[in-house]
Structure 1
Amino acid sequence: MSTSASTMATAISPATRRSIVLLSLACFASMSAQRICDAMLPELSRVFAVGLAQAAQVVSVFAIAYGAAQLFYGPLGDRVGKFRVITFATLGCSIGSALAVFAGTLDMLVFARLLMALGAAALIPLSMAWVGDAVPSDQLQEMLTRTGLGSTLGIVGGQLVGGLLTDALGWRWAFVFMTVLFGAVGLLLWLDLRRQRTPVAKAEAPAGAAAVRHGFVTQAMLILTGRWSRIILLMALVEGAAGFGVLAIWASHLHRSLGLSLSLAGAIVALFGLGGMLYMAVGRHLIRRFGQQGLVLFGGGIVGVSALVLAYTPHWGPALPASLLAGFGFFMFHNTMQTNATQMAPHARGTAVSLFSSSLFLGQSIGVVLAASLIDRIGTGAVIALGGAVMALEGVYFAWVLRRREQLVKD
């Protein structure tokens, strides 16, 4: 057993491991960009003299553009190289961030967020796909956890930095931070691309690469005609709406209902990401203990209960463990989803994972829009509780589906 593990460990070169670390940084930057505006929504509403629902366009438009761009980046990464696309997309994000710094109107800020989304869309899905191509299958989940750690830290960084900088220096400084972050990570990726050009090219050409040369429509149809693939994409849509989408109003809810400062509200919600980090640390043990079915069942349930506590607590104290446990439970569910998504179509992994991410963030945009529209009718607390309930029900359904996976794959 130890000999086998040692053999597998030597199969990943130092150059590949270094590239995975840089991809994790890119994932951190992408997720930070997604969550940077969550805690500043009340301030944007005040500064631009608009309602909270209108200010939430900086989140919803980002999510819509992010999801739609997946349809472009997946095939592009399969054709010209995933690492190369990630590198230049990261550098492009710094331009959109710089425009946000100088936005004088909400419309200009929304436009800058649109540009950021068009670049950030490439980073997480193509990083997952690149790792899927470059890493042996028996080490795939561990390596995906490393890029997932970058994404999870991005949730913490985005929520926390967005709230702290908005309170201390003003919302523009949050985008100064993003400009520097994207520029620095993009430069490191570019240097690594030059150093590792030959090994990366080999990693980008797995067996059966000829099948990747189909057009996007043909490639997408090959994926969508599989019943199991359709289930994964539908699950991603619901997860994005009920999980990531509703998460966007958590900080605003704490600020409005409990009177917390934006920085404190953002810090509490950032515990969601810390909970995800805790899962990453013990994930391998939980997988052995519960299996995929147990992870999605318990993960969805934990999110449901935690969201209920956070929605109706009269004091900010219980919101601390609730946010932490919600993140732990959510990533129990989400990491299982990611693992299944990378295996949908190994011959066109970039396209497959991009379709998965597109469904996820299309769901997020739907969730943000629905949450914003329901706030005035039922209140922020009820919206958060509803999102948690949907996640719990999805966990029950996905666990049932996983039990029937072999039959569904054959169908």
Structure 2
Amino acid sequence: MQSPVLLTLLFALCTMIGPLGIDTYLPSFHAIAQEFDVGPAAVQQTLSAYVLAMAVTMLFYGTLSDTFGRKRVLMASAIGYGVTSFLAAFAPNITMLVLARFLQGLCAGSGMVIVRAMVQDKYHGADAQRQMAMVMMVFGLAPALAPIFGGWLQTHGGWRATFYFLCAFGAALALMLWRFLPETLPRERRSPLKVGVIAANYVQALSNRKFRWMILGLGLMAGANSVYISSAAEFIMTVLGMDATSLGWLFIPLIAGTMMGSAISGTFARRIPLRVQKMIGFGCLLLACFSNVLYNSFTSHPAVPWAVMPITLYTLGISLLMPIFTLEAMGQFPQMRGLASSLQGFTQMMVFTLMSSLIVPHLFHSALLLAIGQSVTVVLGIAIWTWASRGIAPAPGLERAR
């Protein structure tokens, strides 16, 4: 029988594959710009291309796993991730690096989508909430450590060393999945690969107005994180005046909030009424936004730790809410979990893509503008989710004693 601890670790490693491709190379932005003689906006497109590809493929990974099984699709994407990371390491110019990053992103979108479906396959109600919280808590180690490790790789091996590492990670993950990951979707429960049926399922899901608005609201609340993640190099090195090895000043507090929120969410399961959990999460988000804008309104020279403390509170709040809201959104289509998870992941990554490519380049020279950008996105997401989820019953098993 599969060890629960090992299963949680494998789930977490699968969810790490996408974020590692973002966070590990952020300390190398300036080095890439110097080697290829391009500006920050051009290097930013290597991130936007990656995230865009992730977003697009998230639309399909859930459905593919509904047809071919969760394990097989995860293994294929891990192998592809390793190969495309190797190609990125040998990119001769910025154009080829953007292309390689796009191909890498095509392979990086499977993790969170399929893991959400696997958790729903294996667990229900409060157990599913606890398991998702545990996965997010372990997963949180990667974005915290990746920029620090990426800074070390940049200092000692250059930016190409980062992609050698990602290549090795993809290969090691594929091997671990082949050896240890159980299949959670038996053949008799899989959906046939019929284009007409799949298209009809997408139409059915997207025709549900509440579901559309729920995943948009959730995508905005969670995607607001892109303001600081995609501008990490400029925020740390230009706004705060630190060096490439100092990205931990952003990512460690950011991920500390994620891990604390995930741990609290798991503890709250079956103990605290859902409405109270949601109020606490919303309160953390709003307080984080208010304090962030307030601090940066009264200083022209932001500094740690004050500049990153509101970000910690934001990630704590969103981590409290994510397991609950994810289960409630996917609960609208219990027979199409993979597809529902795909649409949720696609929406969240499209918010990240649009923010990082179109909005963040106009904000990352100013701490105040970054704070305002994040706050507007969060408040809009809260408003949309609150409006859309009126009358939605908790996902089965998530009801709490009032």
- Give the shorter-chain TM-score range: 0.7 to 0.9
- Where do 1:8-407 residues align within 5 Å? 14=2, 18-193=6-181, 196=182, 200-202=184-186, 215-239=197-221, 241-286=223-268, 288=272, 291-305=276-290, 307-308=292-293, 309=295, 314-375=302-363, 379=366, 381-399=368-386, 401-406=388-393
2-structure distance, mates of 1:151, 1:338? 16
Conservation of the 8 A alpha-carbon contact between 1:27 and 1:150 = no
1:86–1:127 CA contact under 8 A, matched in 2? no
Once the two structures are TM-superposed, the CA of residue 120 in structure 1 deviates from its matched residue by 1.1
Q: Distance in 2 between matches of 1:294 and 1:380?
A: 28
Q: Which amino acid aligns with 1:98?
A: F
Greater shift, 311-320 or 296-305, is seen at 311-320
Displacement, 1:228? 2.1
Deviation of 1:25 (Å): 1.3
Larger helix percent: 1
The normalised TM-score by structure 2 is 0.86
Q: Tell whether the 8 Å contact from 2:51 to 2:349 is kept in structure 1 after alignment.
A: yes
Q: What is the aligned partner in structure 2 of residue 3 from structure 1?
A: none
Aligned-residue offset at 1:240 = 5.2
Is this contact kept in 1: 2:216–2:384, CA < 8 A? no
The 2-side partners of 1:250 and 1:65 are apart by 21
Q: Is the 8 A contact 2:27 2:245 kept in 1?
A: yes
What is the CA-CA distance between 1:285 and the residue it aligns to? 4.1
CA shift for structure 1 position 257: 1.8
Offset of residue 215 of structure 1: 2.7
Whole-Å Cα distance in 2 between the matches of residues 403 and 144 of structure 1? 24
Query: What secondary structure does 1:146 align onto?
Result: helix
8 Å Cα contact 1:240-1:361 kept in structure 2: no
Q: Which residue of 1 aligns with 2:397?
A: none
Deviation at 1:86, TM superposition (A): 0.7
2:351 partner SS: helix
Distance 1:343 1:57, change over 3 A: same
Q: CA RMSD in A?
A: 2.8
Query: Take 1:211 and 1:91, find their aligned partners in 2: how far apart are those partners?
Result: 24
TM-score normalised by structure 1 residue count: 0.84
Tell me, yes or no, if the aligned pair for 2:282 and 2:317 is still in contact at 8 Å.
Answer: no
Aligned residues: 387
Amino acid at match of 2:245: S
Q: Which amino acid aligns with 2:251?
A: V
Q: Quick check: 1:77–1:350 contact (8 Å CA) kept in 2? A: yes
Cα distance in 2 for partners of 1:300, 1:83 equals 35
Query: Structure 1 regions of 5+ residues with no counterpart?
Result: 1-12
Amino acid at match of 1:382: L
Task: Tell me how far 1:397 sits from its aligned partner.
Answer: 4.7
| Distance verdict in 2 for CA 1:295–1:218, change over 3 Å | farther
Contact 2:257 2:315 in 1 (8 A): yes
Per mean C-alpha deviation after superposition, the further-off stretch among 360-369 and 228-237 is: 228-237
Offset of residue 353 of structure 1: 0.2
Q: Which residue type is aligned with residue 133 of structure 1?
A: D
Structure 2 counterpart of 1:97, one-letter code: S
Identity of aligned residues (%): 20
Aligned CA distance change for structure 1 residues 36 and 310 (closer, same or farther; 3 Å): farther
Q: What is the CA-CA distance between 1:225 and the residue it aligns to?
A: 1.8
CA contact (8 A) 1:98 1:179 kept: yes
Deviation readout 1:37-90 (Å, 9 max, x if unpaired) = 333323322332212111101111111100111222121110010121012211
Secondary structure of 1:60's aligned partner: helix
Superposed CA deviations along residues 5-48 of structure 1, whole A, max 9, x for unmatched, are xxxxxxxx535664343121111233212322333323322332
Secondary structure of the 1:260 match is coil
Map Cα deviations across residues 315-361 of structure 1 (whole Å, 9 max, x no partner): 22313433332321232343333222332311111111011100110
Q: CA offsets per residue over residues 280-300 of structure 1, 9 Å max, x none?
A: 122234561653531442232
Q: Residues 238 and 262 of structure 1: is their aligned pair in 2 closer, same or farther, counting only changes over 3 Å? A: same
